[in-house]
Amino acid sequence: MYHLYTSLSGYYLFFIDWYLYQQKWRDALSSFLLVFSPTHLLARAFVFSMAHHKSEDEIRAEYEIVQKAQQNPQFFAPLYEKYYDAIFVYINRRIEDEELTADMTAQVFYKCLKSLQKYDFQGVPFSAWLFRITINEINQFFKQQQSKQRAVSLKEKHINILFEELQHHDVADKHDIVTKLLESLDSEDVQFLELRFFEDRSFKEIGFLLGLTEVNAKVKTYRILAKLKEKAAQLMR
Span 46-82, pLDDT tens digits: 334 434 467 888 888 899 999 999 999 889 999 999 9
Q: Residue 37 burial by CB count (10 A; 0-12/13-18/19+): exposed, middle or buried?
A: exposed
Helix and strand totals (H; E) in the chain? 10, 2
CB atoms within 10 A of CB 27: 12
What pLDDT sits at residue 53?
Answer: 62
Does pLDDT of 185 surpass 60?
A: yes
Total-model pTM: 0.69
Cα–Cα–Cα angle for 72, 78, 82, rounded to 5 degrees: 145
* Interval 198-216 mean pLDDT: 90
Which position has the higher pLDDT, 148 or 135? Answer: 135
**Domain limits of the chain?**
12-144, 156-235
Which position has the higher pLDDT, 48 or 236? Answer: 236
Specify which residues 76 forms β-bridges with: none
pLDDT band for position 85 (cuts 50, 70, 90): very high
What pLDDT sits at residue 66?
Answer: 94
Does pLDDT of 17 surpass 50?
A: no
Does pLDDT of 217 surpass 60?
A: yes
pLDDT band for position 36 (cuts 50, 70, 90): very low
pLDDT band for position 2 (cuts 50, 70, 90): very low
Please list, in sequence order, all residues whose beta carbon lies within 8 angstroms of the beta carbon of residue 235, skipping any fewer than 6 positions away.
177, 180, 181
Please list, in sequence order, all residues whose beta carbon lies within 8 angstroms of the beta carbon of residue 89, skipping any fewer than 6 positions away.
38, 41, 42, 47, 48
Rounded Cα–Cα distance for residues 86 and 91 (Å): 9
Q: Residue 168 burial by CB count (10 A; 0-12/13-18/19+): exposed, middle or buried?
A: middle
With pLDDT > 90 as the criterion, what percentage of the chain qualifies? 33
pLDDT band for position 169 (cuts 50, 70, 90): low
* Interval 192-200 mean pLDDT: 88
What pLDDT sits at residue 143?
Answer: 87
What pLDDT sits at residue 64?
Answer: 93
What pLDDT sits at residue 27?
Answer: 42
Q: Residue 20 burial by CB count (10 A; 0-12/13-18/19+): exposed, middle or buried?
A: middle
Q: How is domain 12-144 classified at the CATH fold level?
A: Rna Polymerase Sigma Factor; Chain: A (1.10.1740)
- Sort residue 137 into left (φ over 0), alpha (ψ -120 to 50) or beta: alpha
Range with the poorest average pLDDT among 72-81, 111-120, 148-157, 226-235: 148-157
Yes or no: say if 90 and 128 are a contact pair by the CB < 8 Å rule: no
pLDDT band for position 125 (cuts 50, 70, 90): confident
pLDDT band for position 220 (cuts 50, 70, 90): very high
**Among 109, 94, 102, CA closest to 198:** 94
What pLDDT sits at residue 32?
Answer: 36
**Among 203, 201, 197, 202, CA closest to 159:** 197
Which position has the higher pLDDT, 236 or 24? Answer: 236
